[in-house]
Amino acid sequence: MSYNVHLTRAEHWTESMNNPISLEEAKSCFDQRDDFEYTNMLSLKGPFGTMSLEGDFFHWSVEDFSVPFSYKEGRITVHRADEFVIEKMIEISAALGARVQGDDGELYS
């Protein structure tokens, strides 16, 4: 199981639908950034082939890799975010009036 980090406006990310970030707000925020691209499909390559997931994704392109920011239920989530990605999430949180919170409820700033 992977550890996730969330952009949320709620006190706890599990309650994001109580004070959601709308998909339209997220799209508007990410559209203003040259290093992000919106897609409604995520393709993951693995040892047994490629798996595609439908949803709302904002891909952050950095050098030779892409990090998917996944929108769902009023929040934006990154799976297995490292310090570098969390720094980007903190930057984006300011534009969205949100906070950055890990699965265990800890806040990043």
Predicted confidence (pLDDT) per residue in 11-61, tens digit: 999 999 999 999 999 999 999 999 999 999 887 677 787 777 789 999 999
Per-residue pLDDT reduced to its tens digit, 80-99: 999 999 999 999 999 999 99
Chain position carrying tokens 């994704």: 57
Contact 77, 5 (CB under 8 A): yes
pLDDT bucket at 65, cuts 50 / 70 / 90? confident
Q: Count of H helices and E strands in the chain?
A: 2, 7
Instruction: Say what the pLDDT of residue 89 is.
Output: 98
Decide: residue 82, CB within 10 A, 0-12 exposed, 13-18 middle, 19+ buried. exposed
Q: Report the greatest alpha carbon distance in the chain.
A: 40
Give the pairing type, strands 75-79 and 65-72: antiparallel
Return the higher-pLDDT residue of 75 and 47. Answer: 75
pLDDT given at position 48 = 80
